[in-house]
Structure 1
Amino acid sequence: MDFTKFKKELIQYSKSIGIDKIGFTTADPFTEMKNRLIKQQELQYQSGFEEKDIEKRTNPSLIFDKPQSIISIALAYPSKMKDAPKGKAGERRGIFAKASWGEDYHHILRRKLTELEAFIMDYYPEARCKSMVDTGELVDRAVAQRAGIGWSGKNCSIITPEFGSYVYLGEMITNIPFEPDAPMEDQCGTCTKCLDACPTGALVQGGQLNAQRCIAFLTQTKGFLAEEFRVKLGNRLYGCDTCQSVCPKNKGIDFHFHEEMEPDPNLAKPELTPLLSISNREFNESFGKMSGSWRGKKPIQRNALVALAHFKETSAVPEIITVLKNDPRPVLRGTAAWALGKIGGEEAKNALLTAKEKESDEEVLKEVEDGLSKLG
């Protein structure tokens, strides 16, 4: 079989179904990435969301029988929102990171990879394929970098010449021996804008991220946020775009190729106060199709409380007090107490004093005391 010809036909087909970039690489182990992951593990810089087995993350032959090559795909997503609503006093708004706008990208990329698989099988029935998006064993960025999709930037994102770093990545392992593409040369040069702008210093150095300090990771956790991170969160509800927004390679980049990626402005920038009392059903109906909903409403509600404190939104005090008094989740009650302390006022103070008498959870009580100390 002429695999060189087939590769060209596959590239053409990928374009016809809306894949913005495609690259090919070998199925050799990712030795450099393995060493980096071991170092990350030693430093306890991992998020905990990753596949735990580093061997599986870096050796395709452990998750696929006799792999011959890996296909990497990239889809460009929008970086600017049309008709974005503006928050104001009494109607403060939070923000979901750009990568969470529109339909969950996992579903979008899986559909594209399924179409690619079907095309491959029609052409070559003996083919075997295994596709994955983000939650698979392999490191998407390592595959994309080696397949020539882009280079791995200092902000730990894949940066493409065409679409900047605003791309979703997916890959497919196959038993077809495609000719590999050449990796792209690093083009970050001496620029350190992403490192300098990182709100929490999570970018330790170019290409090294301490996920435990990364706001994008922290917004997805379900426990109490440390004080140092609460004051850096701003109005972020899910994810963080800072290191991408300041990147010179992203200047002027904004592509709207895929209708399903277009954000609903009122979901991507939702009002904060209504989030505090949203039911599970309402949350799933409104936000369930977004990738930012994958951890449920609890982290979003906690982050909304922090954002309201950031704005010192006095109009939200009654709703925050309701959370403090009635919410069954200690993390929400405690964060509400902290938020009341930040916002201040007699109503907030009285609610905290009442909570001090009635609250039984030790962690929440600490937050109540902290809130009261902020009031003086």
Structure 2
Amino acid sequence: MDVTKLKQEVIEYAHQIGIDKIGFASADTFESLKQRLITQQALQYESGFEERDIEKRTNPDLLLPKARSIIAIALAYPSKMKNAPRGTRTDRRGIFCRASWGKDYHHVLREKLSKLEEYLREKREDIRTKSMVDTGELSDRAVAERAGIGWSGKNCAIITPEFGSYVYLGEMITNIPFEPDTPIEDKCGTCNKCVDVCPTGALIQGGQLNAKRCIAFLTQTKGFLPEEFRSKIGNRLYGCDTCQTICPENKGKDFHLHPEMEPDPEVVKPRLKPLLTISNREFKEKFGDISGSWRGKKPIQRNSIIALAHYKDITALPELASLLKNDPRPVIRGTAAWAIGKIGGEDYTNQLNEAWMAEGDEEAKKEIEKGLKMAMNTKSSQS
């Protein structure tokens, strides 16, 4: 079969099924990436969500024996929300990052890749493939960069000339020797805005990220959020867009090409106080279709508490006090206590004292102590 002709047919079919950009790369080992990953692991800059085996992350042949090429795809997602609701002083709202708007992108891209696989199988009986989106062993960004989808920006995102960095990425390893495309020239130049503006200093330098300090990672953790980061996340419930919104390459980029990616404003910019008591079933019904729900409701509730503290929302104090007294989860009890103190709930010092006496979890107890200290300081400053 003429592989050159097949490549063109695949490109045309990809566009027919709604793939916004497609590129082809060799299945050679990602040697430069391997060295960077070794450095990242040595510095303990990885989040822990990644595949630990560096060989699997950099050698496609380990994932699909006799791999010959990789097909990379990109789908553009919106950067602006239509009819975004506005919070009020007594009814504050949180926000999910843009990459979590609409239907979970893992499902959307896997559907596209499945169609591509089926198309190739109809063309060649000997086709073998392995597809992945985000959670696979390979680095989506490294594949996309090699395939000419875009360049790897200083913010560690793939930046495309057409859609900026507002793209979802996926790839398919194949045993077909497709001709590789040419990588795109890096256009970041001397611009360092993303590094300079990163709220937590997670971008150590252009192209190097300490994932453990990244808000996108921190909002997904389930334990107590380290106190140094609580003032940084603001009203973010999941993810962070700061290094994308500041990027000059993203200016004016807003594409609404896929109806399933359109955000439901009440889902991605939800009211905070109702999240404090939402049931598992209610959470799944409302948020289950978006990628930001994958860790369950606990991180979202913890982040909601921190957001209410950020706003110093005194109307939330009764709900926070109820969580402090009744919630079975130490992280939620402790974070609620901290938030009460942060908001300035000096009227709740008796409840904080009672909670401290009854608390059996040491970490939660320390958070109650922090809340008490802040509440007492507020009381004394107003005396």
Please report the TM-score for the alignment, with normalisation by the length of structure 2.
Answer: 0.97
Between the aligned partners of 1:315 and 1:343, the Cα distance in structure 2 is 10
Between the aligned partners of 1:43 and 1:265, the Cα distance in structure 2 is 39
The residue identity in structure 1 corresponding to 2:136 is G
Q: Which runs of 5+ in 1 are unaligned?
A: none
The residue identity in structure 1 corresponding to 2:161 is P
- 2:126 match: secondary structure: coil
The residue identity in structure 2 corresponding to 1:242 is T
Between the aligned partners of 1:69 and 1:143, the Cα distance in structure 2 is 10
The residue identity in structure 1 corresponding to 2:237 is L
Q: In structure 2, what is the equivalent of residue 265 of structure 1?
A: 265
Matched residue count: 376
Aligned-pair Cα RMSD in Å: 0.7
CA deviations 1:87-128 (Å, max 9, x no partner) are 111110000000000000000000000010111111112111
Deviation, structure 1 residue 75 = 0.1
The residue identity in structure 2 corresponding to 1:335 is T
CA contact (8 A) 2:97 2:238 kept: yes
CA contact (8 A) 1:155 1:194 kept: yes
Q: In structure 1, what is the equivalent of residue 330 of structure 2?
A: 330
Q: In structure 1, what is the equivalent of residue 2 of structure 2?
A: 2
Q: In structure 2, what is the equivalent of residue 22 of structure 1?
A: 22
CA deviations 1:312-360 (Å, max 9, x no partner) are 0011111111111111110110000000000113433232122122222
The residue identity in structure 2 corresponding to 1:24 is F
The residue identity in structure 2 corresponding to 1:141 is R
CA contact (8 A) 1:340 1:349 kept: no
Q: In structure 2, what is the equivalent of residue 188 of structure 1?
A: 188
After alignment, is 125-134 or 15-24 more displaced?
125-134
CA contact (8 A) 2:317 2:345 kept: no
CA contact (8 A) 2:25 2:147 kept: yes
Between the aligned partners of 1:346 and 1:153, the Cα distance in structure 2 is 47
Q: Tell me the percent identity.
A: 70
Correspondence 1:111-150 to 2 at 5 A: 111-150=111-150
CA deviations 1:40-84 (Å, max 9, x no partner) are 000000000001100000000111110010000000000000000
CA contact (8 A) 1:129 1:173 kept: yes
Between the aligned partners of 1:356 and 1:108, the Cα distance in structure 2 is 47
Correspondence 1:82-93 to 2 at 5 A: 82-93=82-93
Between the aligned partners of 1:347 and 1:31, the Cα distance in structure 2 is 60
Between the aligned partners of 1:177 and 1:325, the Cα distance in structure 2 is 63
CA contact (8 A) 2:77 2:261 kept: yes
Deviation, structure 1 residue 280 = 0.5
CA deviations 1:207-252 (Å, max 9, x no partner) are 0000010000000000111111011010000000000000000000
Q: In structure 1, what is the equivalent of residue 365 of structure 2?
A: 365
The residue identity in structure 2 corresponding to 1:230 is R
Between the aligned partners of 1:343 and 1:351, the Cα distance in structure 2 is 15
The residue identity in structure 2 corresponding to 1:134 is D
CA deviations 1:116-154 (Å, max 9, x no partner) are 011111111211111100011100000000000000000
Q: Which runs of 5+ in 2 are unaligned?
A: 378-383
Q: Name segments (4+ residues, structure 1) moved above 3 Å.
A: none
Q: In structure 2, what is the equivalent of residue 77 of structure 1?
A: 77
CA contact (8 A) 1:94 1:271 kept: yes
CA deviations 1:16-46 (Å, max 9, x no partner) are 1000000001000000000000000000000
Between the aligned partners of 1:346 and 1:233, the Cα distance in structure 2 is 24
- 1:295 match: secondary structure: coil
- 2:14 match: secondary structure: helix
